Amino acid sequence: IISGTLEQHSKQARQLENELDLKLVSFSKLCTSYSHSSARDGRRDRYSSDTTPLLNGSSQDRMFETMAIEIEQLLARLTGINDKMAEYTSSAGVPSLNAALMHTLQRHRDILQDYTHEFHKTKANFVAIRERENLMGSVRKDIESYKSGSGVNNRRTELFLKEHDHLRNSDRLIEETISIAMATKENMTSQRGMLKSIQSKMNTLANRFPAVNSLIQRINLRKRRDSLILGGVIGVCTILLLLYAFH
């Protein structure tokens, strides 16, 4: 009964993990598209009004908030299921579980930790990009206000514009680096999903055939013992050869 209950919770955890995996990929793509659109808006904002970028940013902000809430809810549900499985394994009267099942429970905890870390990291990157864009927008407005107020393109304004261009170029390089990191993370996420699927199938096979798992452990112990015996024989032979050589 205990094992069946844990298997049911493990199945629910896998379903939530699959949903979280898809949500996090979409969340990462949203951050990447926000970074690219911000760069494009910044390159053409000197020749157009600020209305369109603000509208686009507002729409993406709403999507960001919605997806963040959904991911936080899924993480909370997955945390609750992991806590239930932990209570079952630590409660009094529960017999000792096999190694494969304990490994499965630990894997669920590791996946939850990885997804939580990935979500907070992506969210922090998005917030940093948005705050940087707001700051640069404020600088652009100050420049336009200064130019319209003075009515002349004096030396100070030119220096200010050059400094702004330098900042924009540095910002573009940072955004390209972030985009490359996002693409690399998406590839690693895809590979992790494939490895997770393979590992889940192997764990399922080990749970169905515990005798195979026990046989593999015995084979590993015998190989370790044979290695120790062989190492001892080689050591003794080496000592005898050295004694013979020096005598």
pLDDT digits (tens, 9 = 90+) for 16-74: 999 999 999 998 888 887 765 655 555 445 444 444 443 355 677 788 889 999 999 99
Q: Tell me what pLDDT residue 237 has.
A: 87
How many helices (H) and strands (E) in the chain? 5, 0
pLDDT digits (tens, 9 = 90+) for 132-149: 877 776 666 766 665 665
pLDDT of 1 over the 60 cut:
no
H or E element: which one contains 64? helix 51-90
pLDDT digits (tens, 9 = 90+) for 96-109: 556 767 788 888 88
Q: How far apart are CA 194 and CA 191, in angstroms?
A: 5
User: Degrees (nearest 5) of the Cα angle 116, 131, 180?
Assistant: 60
Helix 2-44 × helix 51-90 angle, to 10°: 160
pLDDT of 116 over the 80 cut:
yes
Residue, of 172 and 139, whose pLDDT is higher: 172
pLDDT digits (tens, 9 = 90+) for 146-163: 566 555 556 677 777 788
Q: Which of 79, 102, 104, 213 is nearest to 94 (CA)?
A: 102
